[in-house]
């Protein structure tokens, strides 16, 4: 399994490595990617 850690730590936050109210997770089988909808930070 290959990959890159994009979110770590405890609690919520606004920094690039933190999530804030993640609402959905998708797996893109074509690109072998995990996509997370981060509502609180308005990011995908």
- Tell me the per-residue pLDDT of 1-44, one tens digit each, with 9 for 90 and over: 567 777 777 788 998 889 999 999 999 999 999 999 999 999 99
Report the distance separating Cα 1 and Cα 11, nearest Å. Answer: 26
Beta bridge partners of 37: 24
Task: For residues 19 and 32, give the distance between their C-alpha atoms in angstroms, rounded to a whole number.
Answer: 21
Cβ atoms of residues 44 and 38 within 8 Å = yes
């Amino acid at each position: 399994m290959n990959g890159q850690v994009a979110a770590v730590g405890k609690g919520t936050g606004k920094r690039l490595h933190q999530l804030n109210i993640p609402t959905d997770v998708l797996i893109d089988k074509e690109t072998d990617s995990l996509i997370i909808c981060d509502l609180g930070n308005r990011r995908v």
